[in-house]
Amino acid sequence: MKRFKIILLMCYLTFFKLSFSDGNNNMKPPIPLPPEITENVNNDFKVPEIKKYGEDIDGDDLRYLEKTYTVMMEAKVNVFIPLEVISDVDIETIIVDNQIKEIPFEIELNRTPEKKDHYSLKYSESIIDIDRDGKPDTYISSPQYINEKISKDNYVKIYGENISKEGKHNKTIYVTVEIGE
């Protein structure tokens, strides 16, 4: 929401701060320099005197440098919100001896993907050695593409025969959304 407000403010500053020469969009040609200035370009430069308020000013001598107008416009902005994982998954299980466990889990995204077969889940690790003994024992698998807001059919498969150290083992895995191949 903060990004949207910043983008909207930038659009306001860009589109609403316009100035025109006059209301009819007729651009006036630039005013030529007086001869006193052009004659003394290479010599001593003298600035012509500015007439003071109350002195007689001919209509031809009066020059308007700029007229400004306030213009009201409407701006529409397309804001792209990236596809992100918004759920945390905690998996706890007990493995006894050479058991093989397949644990399903779901991952929730912030919105439904707008393109089918375009986005996939990317794990920081998908083959894990949970007890750090040198043999991989835990595998994470997901469907090739995610097409729904809630991604189902994700599994953690644990092979008990490859776990050699008893005790409680913890591992943190980060999940991101990537454009599929």
Whether residues 61 and 106 share a domain: the answer is no
In sequence order, what are the beta bridge partners of 121?
177
Collect the ranges in the chain with pLDDT lower than 50.
Answer: 16-23
Please, what's the b/e burial string for 11-38 (b: 16 or more CB within 10 A of its CB; e: otherwise)? eeeeeeeeeeeeeeeeeeeeeeeeeeee
The reply to whether 173 falls in a domain is yes
Tally of domains in the chain: 2
Q: How many CB atoms lie within 10 A of CB 128?
A: 19
Residue-range definition of the domain harbouring residue 62 = 1-80
Whether residues 70 and 105 share a domain: the answer is no
Whether residues 104 and 158 share a domain: the answer is yes
Which residue, among 122, 120, 111, 124, has the nearest Cα to 146 in the 3D structure? 120
Whether residues 106 and 71 share a domain: the answer is no
Report yes or no: 108 and 85 within 8 Å, Cβ to Cβ: yes
The reply to whether 87 falls in a domain is no
Note the pLDDT of residue 70. Answer: 76
Note the pLDDT of residue 81. Answer: 82
The reply to whether 89 falls in a domain is no
Whether residues 62 and 106 share a domain: the answer is no
Q: Residue 160 is encoded by which pair of tokens?
A: 């008990």
Whether residues 13 and 51 share a domain: the answer is yes
Whether residues 60 and 113 share a domain: the answer is no
Report yes or no: 145 and 122 within 8 Å, Cβ to Cβ: no
Whether residues 152 and 106 share a domain: the answer is yes
Q: What is the pLDDT of residues 119-131, one digit of tens each?
A: 999 999 999 999 9
CA 59 from centre of chain: 55
Whether residues 107 and 67 share a domain: the answer is no
Note the pLDDT of residue 20. Answer: 36
Q: What is the pLDDT of residues 27-62, one digit of tens each?
A: 555 566 666 555 555 555 555 565 555 555 555 555
Whether residues 4 and 61 share a domain: the answer is yes
Note the pLDDT of residue 79. Answer: 80
* Burial of 116 per CB tally in 10 Å (0-12, 13-18, 19+): exposed
The reply to whether 88 falls in a domain is no
Whether residues 75 and 4 share a domain: the answer is yes
Q: How far, in Å, are 50, 57, 60, 66 from residue 63 at the CA level?
A: 12, 11, 8, 9
Q: Cα-atom radius of gyration of the chain, to the nearest Å? A: 36
The reply to whether 17 falls in a domain is yes
Separation CA 67–CA 176 (nearest Å)? 54
The reply to whether 95 falls in a domain is no
Report yes or no: 142 and 151 within 8 Å, Cβ to Cβ: yes
The whole model's pTM is what? Answer: 0.55
Whether residues 69 and 113 share a domain: the answer is no
Note the pLDDT of residue 108. Answer: 94
